Amino acid sequence: MENFENNVVLITGGGTGIGKATASAFIAKGAKVVITGRRQSVLEETTQELGAQAHFVAGDVSKKGEPARIIEETIRKFGRLDVLVNNAGTGNMGPLSEISDEEIEGIYRTNVFAPLALIREATPHLANSKGAIINISSVAARGIMPGVVAYASSKAAVDHATRLLAAELGLIGIRVNAVAPGLTDTDITTDVKSNEEMLGMIIAQTPMGRLGEPKDIANAVLLLSDSRAGWITGQSVQAGGGFLL
């Protein structure tokens, strides 16, 4: 995998889990990384742990105006942007009859609105660097299962937006791909992991026979960001150990 020295990478939801692992992986390859999130204390702790190549911008990407501010602060700090990783996400389990309007809106604002707004604001800078965008989707975007309609449909929107934007932004040299994790061992999957029956069912249906680790997803993000993947765009790479093939 190539060295990302002198590259600047922006990762939303970068304080924990997949985002943190992705930040660490890019830094190990020489990149400067900006992480974002809503909890400043978590960002401060993670940035300190990641070292001098890391910087944070606290903010809620689901709120109007925040994506533009975050991009502006990234450019002000480092002067360029090479990779945008839209990792921040949210969701909940339960039938549609039990999900409120506010919950549906919250899921779509974080999972769909925020990536689109960030991409829009980042486009001029990524065009300058001939950069890459990696959207974090989910295997749930392709699977059919009860109790995840708001989350899964929002991730299906991410997958389709990835294809559309690959066609639109390829004309100015920007590649757009997605990584679709299966069940991964992060804080956001605590409810599923604590349900032994559900956890056992998912692992039984995963050919690789285990949960994903954040580093598994980080490695997939780096692969797609690598210049040697320069002829790959518009794809959603399933990174779920074979779950829901």
Q: Which residues are catalytic?
A: 151
CA 192, CA 21: separation in Å to the nearest integer? Answer: 21
Which residues touch 227 (CB under 8 Å, ≥6 apart)?
2
Paired with 103 in beta bridges are none
* Structural contact between residues 64 and 38, judged by C-beta atoms closer than 8 angstroms: no
For 230: left if phi > 0, alpha if psi spans -120 to 50, otherwise beta; the answer is: alpha
CA distances from 35 to 20, 58, 79, 150, 215 (A): 8, 8, 16, 26, 16
CA 115/CA 37 separation, integer angstroms: 13
Structural tokens at position 188: 């956001």
Q: Are 146 and 160 in contact (CB under 8 A)?
A: no
Q: Which residues contact 170 (CB under 8 A, 6 or more apart)?
A: 176, 233, 234
